[in-house]
Amino acid sequence: MGRRKKGDKIDGWINLDKPLGLTSTQAMAKVRRILNAQKAGHAGTLDPLATGILPIALGEATKTIPFMQDRHKTYEFTVTWGERRDTDDSEGETLATSDVRPARDDVEAILADFTGVISQIPPRFSAIKIDGQRAYDLARDGEEVELKAREVFIESLELLEVRGNEADFVMTCGKGTYVRSLARDMAESLGTCGYVSALRRTRVGGFAQERAISLEKLEEMGDKAREALLPLVSALDDIPALALKEAEVAKLRNGQVVSFVSKPDFERIKAAGLENGQSAVAVFRDLPVALVERKGPNIQPVRVFNI
């Protein structure tokens, strides 16, 4: 007989506003403790020096984390000009200095170069693995860390304000984009040095700061903290939903393929807007049953929800 898991079975998402000074893992652990949940995960790491939206998945919602990680994210950040730091943020040691302070027109002139699909080398102090070890662990041990450039997508980049040694920006970007690398590269393009001195994530997909909740507020809610829980399907709001018949539910729950060969069945696929090779959430009476993928006339279960 297996050992009983500690905590309660809770399924859903918390749209957390992560405070300064906590790692994403620490913040997730605090949410799990407050709600007394058996299982938790987070979508999209935030550094301790960053604040803002950290989606926390609980229970069966952890199966939808990859979908949330792929969502576009929006950041507000400040770049301090005149210093290059080894971490590309305010925590690091100074590697170089510059007297150049770019004017607003100069900064605005380079924004287009950092919009769209761009090539970016991640920071040395990052969670990327090199031969099975995290880059930041190697960097802290004094080892040379060489990371390869990768393509990332920046949907929009706007300069908000310039003052003295600092400039404020807002950016919406795709998965894998490093704000610290962007600050470093913009500074270099402007003939100076720079690092991220403040960073806040204001949106991850449909999770926005306007509807986020703080750890402090969750603590205050006590036994009512679960009222802040969002549905599991919150991470799946932009993929098709396929309505199931009762007999199909059992098949998917058992990991079996469901064939949609009759004309009425095929019309259901068409009505859901589910293209061949595309993923969908299969639902029965408004409850999510499984993440599925269409393979021709067949619906293949990818992740089955135990709800």
Express each pLDDT in 220-242 by its tens digit.
999 899 999 999 999 988 889 99
- CATH number for the domain spanning 52: value is 3.30.2350.10
Range of the domain at 53: 12-71+206-235
3 belongs to a structural domain: no
Helix (H, G, I), strand (E, B) or coil at 122: coil
Do 65 and 86 lie in one domain? The reply is no
4 belongs to a structural domain: no
Query: Per the residue annotation, which of 11, 17, 47, 185 is the catalytic one?
Result: 47
Do 254 and 231 lie in one domain? The reply is no
| Domain count along the chain | 3
Do 174 and 278 lie in one domain? The reply is no
Do 151 and 61 lie in one domain? The reply is no
Do 99 and 192 lie in one domain? The reply is yes
Do 79 and 192 lie in one domain? The reply is yes
Does pTM top 0.85 for this prediction? yes
Do 56 and 29 lie in one domain? The reply is yes
Binning pLDDT at 50, 70 and 90, where does residue 267 land? Answer: confident
Pair 121, 228: CB distance under 8 Å: no
Do 110 and 189 lie in one domain? The reply is yes
Q: Is 47 noted as a catalytic residue in this protein?
A: yes
Do 126 and 185 lie in one domain? The reply is yes
Helix (H, G, I), strand (E, B) or coil at 59: helix
178-233 pLDDT, tens digit per residue, is 999 999 999 999 999 999 999 999 999 999 999 999 999 999 999 899 999 999 99
Pair 177, 154: CB distance under 8 Å: yes
Do 189 and 79 lie in one domain? The reply is yes
Q: Is the pLDDT of residue 124 over 90?
A: no
Structure tokens at 17: 């506003």
7 belongs to a structural domain: no
137 belongs to a structural domain: yes
132 belongs to a structural domain: yes
Do 151 and 263 lie in one domain? The reply is no
Do 215 and 273 lie in one domain? The reply is no
Note the helical H segments in the chain: 24-35, 65-69, 104-110, 135-140, 179-189, 215-221, 246-253, 263-272
